[in-house]
Amino acid sequence: MNIIPKAKNFKENGNIEISAEFSADERLIFCKKAFLRMVSKLYGVRLTDGDDGIKLVYDEALDKDEYAIKGASVYASDYEGARYGLATMLQLMEKTEDGFTVCDTEIKDSPDKDFRAFMTDLAREWHDFDNLISYVDLCYLNKMKYLQLHFTDDQSWTLPLACFPKAATRGRCYKRSEIDYLVEYAYESGIELVPEFEGIGHSKELIKNCPDEFGNVYDEEIEDSSVENSVEAGKVGRVDNIMCIGKPDIFENIRRMLSEIAEIFKYSKYIHVGCDEAKHENWNHCALCRDYMARQNLESTKATYSHFVKKIIDICLSLGKTPIVWEGFPYEGTENISRDAVVISWENIYQSGPELIESGFNVINASWSPMYIVPLRKEPIKTICKWSVISKNWRVHQVQHHWNASKAYGGLELTPREKVLGGMLCQWECKMEEERDRVILNLPQVSDRTWNAEDFYSGEEFESAKEKIIALSEKLI
């Protein structure tokens, strides 16, 4: 029986019968609750305490994040390795009348890349809270480590913050009690949440709801219509979705928001602070912004943009969190931005993945093709974007794009490879019914190719390996 992701060391010895029982070493007992919950959801069985079923065994000889399996026993030296081993066991199990049949294997395995993630867009299309729980479960099953939550954008603000309650979109904002539950649920499952607050651009809803704190004061009317991005970075129209850098309290207000986000997501290493596709030329038409640029000796709105990015990143770092940003900020002024920030390489138009690495950043590979799941409603997207990770032969050290205006058109290699922290599958603008099947199919592929940077499944191998994990995934959503 093949498992996903592909195990580096795998030997199959037939099958064994076990009881519907579970036991765990006290040093790994924290992993018990989530595993029992997953078995109940996937197999409809509540495991009882006992030694005649699956055993979770502490083994100090195993490295961090590493696990081993022999028969019905899972071995690990830490919670993370234990979680990966138990997630593997979910694929090895088959329900019987009295218990389970388990594929009798010998496995020893660990991930090549730490950042193995799925991102879901909660701002463009509303997702019921139960969907978020389902995505935590899906990440658990696929041995993903991170779930990024795109809470805010031009269309809505779905993250409740006590410091700015007016920011919330009426009827499209989660309750604080729900978010608190999600944080604990994910923590129990070993999934680290990455909350995303869209800073600088993509802030139309925030500006509409909190104009005095974040909105520009223009000398002339700004066109408020959808404008497509052009090839040149920064020339993206004048839609008013950009924060005012000249507001006296702008950075203190951002600090208040990020401080509360850091408090809510107390187990999270990362906060994603957005910083892409800001319509920076708008600042030329705001007296407050022009005055700020003059006082700071900023010679262009592009330099001001990078200055703003630096400020937000520094605030995040001061809170003890590692900031993640999208690639879409200008080259001008980048030298002043802390290299402790991590950059997601996605479009490879603004700055390419290789350029970001060369300038000292660590990057996450979320290349538009094929790591973006978008609605297939209109041509040419309807035909172009039906890709899968395997059909495009995506690799964690290569970025791609279907658009010939991108530097990644035809593929770009990311080196040195240690600067690539991992990869992220992104769902954008989809209703749940539009994304469900594509997430279920693509997430195992991303899991395999981020867990294994080199020796992953080929197309045919994946087809034979995917059957079990796809069937289990369909029970979770």
On whether both 133 and 261 belong to a single domain, the answer is yes
What is the average per-residue pLDDT within 81-107? Answer: 96
Number of domains in the chain: 2
- Residue 159 belongs to a domain: yes
Q: What is the pLDDT of residue 225?
A: 41
Last residue of a domain, which of 109, 136, 161? 109
Q: How far apart are the first and last CA of the chain?
A: 24
Q: What is the pLDDT of residue 221?
A: 65
What percentage of the chain carries pLDDT values higher than 90? Answer: 92
Mean pLDDT value across the chain: 94
On whether both 68 and 158 belong to a single domain, the answer is no
On whether both 303 and 330 belong to a single domain, the answer is yes
| CATH number of the domain to which 243 belongs | 3.20.20.80
Contacts of 347 (CB under 8 A, 6+ apart): 327, 328, 368, 401, 406, 408
On whether both 95 and 125 belong to a single domain, the answer is no
How, if at all, do strands 115-121 and 420-427 pair? parallel
On whether both 237 and 272 belong to a single domain, the answer is yes
- Residue 442 belongs to a domain: yes
Helices (H), 196-341: 204-209, 211-214, 250-264, 287-295, 301-318
What percentage of the chain carries pLDDT values higher than 70? Answer: 96
Tell which wins on pLDDT, 460 or 153.
153
On whether both 83 and 222 belong to a single domain, the answer is no
pLDDT tens digit string along 109-143? 999 999 999 999 999 999 999 999 999 999 999 99
What does the block give as tokens for 4?
Answer: 């996903």
Contacts of 130 (CB under 8 A, 6+ apart): none
- Residue 3 belongs to a domain: no
Q: What is the pLDDT of residue 239?
A: 56
pLDDT of 165 higher than 80:
yes
Q: What is the pLDDT of residue 222?
A: 60
Encode 202-212: b = buried (16+ Cβ within 10 Å), e = exposed: bbbbbbbbbee
The Cα 361–Cα 376 span in angstroms is: 33
Q: Are 285 and 222 in contact (CB under 8 A)?
A: yes
On whether both 102 and 170 belong to a single domain, the answer is no
- Residue 2 belongs to a domain: no
Last residue of a domain, which of 109, 142, 177? 109
- Residue 316 belongs to a domain: yes
- Residue 452 belongs to a domain: yes
On whether both 427 and 284 belong to a single domain, the answer is yes
On whether both 75 and 143 belong to a single domain, the answer is no
On whether both 374 and 459 belong to a single domain, the answer is yes
- Residue 1 belongs to a domain: no
- Residue 4 belongs to a domain: no
pLDDT tens digit string along 332-341? 999 999 999 9
pLDDT tens digit string along 168-201? 999 999 999 999 999 999 999 999 999 999 999 9
On whether both 82 and 135 belong to a single domain, the answer is no
Query: Could you give the angle at which helices 301-318 and 250-264 cross, rounded to 10 degrees?
Result: 40
Q: 460 falls in which pLDDT band (50, 70, 90)?
A: confident
Q: Are 55 and 110 in contact (CB under 8 A)?
A: no
Q: How far is CA 83 from CA 141, 166, 301, in A?
A: 10, 39, 47
Residue 196: strand pairing partners: 150, 272
Radius of gyration of the chain (CA): 23
| CATH number of the domain to which 100 belongs | 3.30.379.10
pLDDT of 5 higher than 90:
yes
Q: Which of 27, 26, 46 is nearest to 35 (CA)?
A: 46
> Residue 225: exposed, middle, or buried by beta-carbon count in 10 A (0-12, 13-18, 19+)?
exposed
Q: What is the pLDDT of residue 464?
A: 87
pLDDT tens digit string along 214-247? 999 998 766 554 333 333 333 334 457 899 999 9
What is the average per-residue pLDDT within 86-99? Answer: 96
Q: Supply the pTM of this predicted model.
A: 0.95
Tell which wins on pLDDT, 219 or 160.
160
Determine which of 20-29, 142-151, 335-344, 379-388 has the lowest per-residue pLDDT on average. 379-388
On whether both 120 and 99 belong to a single domain, the answer is no
Q: What is the pLDDT of residue 237?
A: 40
Q: What is the pLDDT of residue 15?
A: 95
- Give the count of beta carbons closer than 10 Å to the beta carbon of residue 132: 21
- Give the count of beta carbons closer than 10 Å to the beta carbon of residue 374: 18
Instruction: Tell me which residue range forms the domain holding 230.
Output: 115-474
Instruction: Provide the Cα torsion 289, 290, 296, 298; round to 10°.
Output: 110
Last residue of a domain, which of 77, 109, 141? 109
